[in-house]
A = this chain, B = another copy of it.
């Protein structure tokens, strides 16, 4: 039924209301971040990404790449050489995004311990028998 060529993910949804949700919707993909940071160092090839991201499947990498390209975050360049060569590089806006993303990384780094602690406390709270809650 030729929707395009691959099966294309969730497309766009009704995320117009919140621009943040919209950008997250682009970046929330399990692999989008990995691709963006990998490409931040400079142009990368398909297989480079495939090995760099560690865990991504061909299919998902392709899907992610397509989405990012469609949104103008990645620029795809094909070199019609004998062994096919394709390079992906960040667009200017994507470079900006990556920079912005760094502050998120920073936040995550700073609070990683707090989060772990909170989780442990929460889980412990729920794991014990309620009758223990009176302490002693």
**Interface of A toward B, CB cutoff 8 Å:** 4-5, 12, 14, 17-24, 26-28, 30, 33-34, 37, 54-55, 69-72, 93, 96-97, 100-101, 103-109, 111-112, 114-115, 117-119, 122-123, 126
Contact = CB atoms under 8 A, between A and B. Distances in A.
B4 A21 contact: no
11 contacts: A17-B54, A19-B109, A20-B105, A23-B105, A23-B107, A24-B33, A69-B122, A71-B115, A71-B118, A71-B119, A72-B119
Nearest to A22: B108
Contacts of A24: 24, 27-28, 33, 104
B108 A70 contact: no
Contact of A5 (B5, B21, B114, B126): B126
A16 to B, nearest CB: 9
Contact of A122 (B70, B112, B126): B70
A4 B123 CA distance: 9
Nearest to A21: B33
A62 to B, nearest CB: 14
Contact of A107 (B18, B72, B96, B105): B96
Q: Which of A24, A114, A117 has the most CB of B within 10 A?
A: A24
Contacts of A71: 115, 118-119
